[in-house]
Structure 1
Amino acid sequence: MTVRQWWALARPATLPASVVPVAVGAAVAAERGPWSWPLSLVMLVVALLLQIGTNMVNEWADFHRGVDAPDSVGIAGVIVAGHLSPATVWRWAVGTYALAFGLGLGLVAVRGWPLLALGLAGIGAGFLYNAGPRPLSATPWGEALVFAIMGPVEVLASEVAAAGTISPGGWAASVAVGFSVAAILTANNLRDRDKDGARGRRTLAVLLGDRGGARLLAALVAAPFLWLALAAGLGWLPVTVLAAWLAVPVAVAGVRRLMQPGPGRRRAVAVVGRIHLLAGLLLAMGLLLAR
């Protein structure tokens, strides 16, 4: 496997989905008191490896189910294009998961079994999302699973890695992150709606239709900002988290580009991923400002 092929399998446009939960979890820990930046850095590597492994399993599973074809709109393609065999992709996926698990065990040795439980939940969710007899990625439940795993589970795991405990603020911040990550998946499914429907997949974008799917995307992009305003107003989070609202103009411009079908949707994941990354890093910065 070449570096270019590995990078394609990693699906870099999706990786901000893992950077933000770790950054927010670490910022929640830092806002409360002493925290370990080296352990947060290890947590970031683990989170990225888990997502890359999940992306590789997704490539392998979609090929075997006939979801990916040479005319696929999405990011996939190294198997259907004949660049790599399914067996090679599977071996790299297993190896990536194994490396993440090994590094994760080091974190568990320092922070204890709650981190192990959260990590196993993440690995299990990745398998259920892509593989098994009825992968959740092909059902209306994909957004809910992604919300839970890459929102609360990953943010709270990152807080545990950084400080050893979970706080109410971590829960509140994780909801905003969950909405934002779910928006990335909806952008992906809206882009692939026609292809997915033709292959029997029943994502929310397929069931809601083009207009309904676009409205869902707009709602999920808006939800983190509204949630943070509510959480700050109720005192669940410091008012400085409203720094995330600096990303609103970027979010509005991005969503407007994706509301209508057309060639612009080919970059839907990258567009929403940038919104997610910008708003998430501003949220983390807002938490740090409250120290």
Structure 2
Amino acid sequence: MTTQDITQRKAWVIAARPQTLPAAASPVVVGTGLAVHDGVFAIFPAIAALVGAGLIQIGTNFANDYYDAVQGADTEDREGFTRVTAGGLIAPETVKRAMYLTFAAAILLGTYLVSVGGVPIVIIGLLSVASGIAYTGGPYPLGYHGLGDLFVFVFFGLVAVAGTYYVQAAAVLAGPFPVGIPPETVPVAAVVAALPIAALSTDILVVNNVRDKEEDATTGKRTLAVRFGYRFARAQFVALLVLAYAVPVWFLLRSGYSVAVSLPYLTLPYAVAVTRTMLTETAGEVLNPALERTGRLLAGYAVLFAVGLAPTNLPL
């Protein structure tokens, strides 16, 4: 299909990049699974966190599409998925407007979460939106200076999982609009449970950066793959997988968790298959499917991990 054959509706779907939404939903799923286990599950904060995470992901996708185009990072040699701004499918100002409207919707929804979670959610929400824009925009784009991996690890992993748990625990254990972080609303387990999601979400970016390494090097986008080469990026990918699959052992060694927390190991064969591709390939036609498979790996791991964490306080 050529760009001339793409309708406006299809172009907006491409810009939103629905294949990236597992990175938004997965931390909410895991944070909610742990909340069920600990008896602090709250349905409305959980739903709001899920929708808010999706809006921030889509807003970030619009920002990437717009800023990469206007800064010249998307060229005709691009091997990734179609970009609507650089491809002339949607006017740059229209994509920029959609970015701001999407982030505004996330902030509007966030007012409910602020009423539950108070000042900590104000800080997290504003930082998440600002970082989503700063990933490829602003005076110091994070993704252009090798900081994209850290951004994803922190905001789509640690903050997203622990934040999802926090808003539910705050709704159950604290009064409205807490100023600080109430006791027992961010346990160590919530931070540890976030690590696999942080690792696998970052691995999605690592695949993307390996695929785009040669083009990024010519357009001045200094990702870690560009700075340190293919070998480093592949070692990073494997190291993050090792971290993800080490975490269930931490829970198995603690009382209160059943052997069900080992369910994510069912995804290991799939992870191995994706890793084989990452260790041997650089071409876009091979790594584009690997990128989608890494997203599916994240989603599958998250669902199984959440199911494994939840059983203790589920009704039998």
Of 253, 263, 266, the match for 2:288:
266
Question: Cα deviation per residue 1:176-232 (whole Å; 9 max; x = unaligned)?
Answer: 211111111111111111111111222111123223322221222232002332453
Residue number in structure 2 paired with 1:57: 63
Check if 1:285 corresponds to 2:291: no
8 Å contact kept, 1:69–1:80 = yes
CA drift of 1:172 comes to 1.1
Map 1:160-199 → 2, pairs under 5 A = 160-164=166-170, 165-199=185-219
Residue number in structure 1 paired with 2:13: 7
Check if 1:240 corresponds to 2:246: no
Residue number in structure 2 paired with 1:146: 152
What amino acid maps onto 2:18 in structure 1? Answer: P
Query: For the residues of structure 2 that align with 1:186 and 1:258, how far apart are their CA atoms?
Result: 9
Of 235, 258, 262, the match for 1:215:
235
TM-score by length of 1: 0.94
Of 51, 66, 80, the match for 1:74:
80
Query: For the residues of structure 2 that align with 1:231 and 1:134, how far apart are their CA atoms?
Result: 39
Check if 1:206 corresponds to 2:212: no
Query: Larger deviation: 44-53 or 132-141?
Result: 132-141
Question: Cα deviation per residue 1:51-92 (whole Å; 9 max; x = unaligned)?
Answer: 100110111110111001233112342112211111000000
Query: Larger deviation: 276-285 or 103-112?
Result: 103-112
Residue number in structure 1 paired with 2:125: 119
- What is the RMSD computed on CA atoms of the aligned residues? 1.8
Distance of aligned partners of 1:281 and 1:94 in 2 relative to their CA distance in 1, 3 Å threshold: same
8 Å contact kept, 2:251–2:261 = no
Structure 1 stretches of 5 or more lacking a match? none
TM-score by length of 2: 0.87
What amino acid maps onto 1:194 in structure 2? Answer: E
Residue number in structure 2 paired with 1:33: 39
Whose radius of gyration is greater, 1 or 2? 2
* Paired residue total: 291
Query: For the residues of structure 1 that align with 2:105 and 2:270, how far apart are their CA atoms?
Result: 36
Aligned to 1:84, the other structure's residue is in SS state coil
8 Å contact kept, 1:147–1:178 = yes
What amino acid maps onto 2:300 in structure 1? Answer: L
CA drift of 1:234 comes to 5.5
Query: For the residues of structure 1 that align with 2:73 and 2:97, how far apart are their CA atoms?
Result: 20
Check if 1:47 corresponds to 2:68: no
Structure 2 stretches of 5 or more lacking a match? 1-6, 171-184
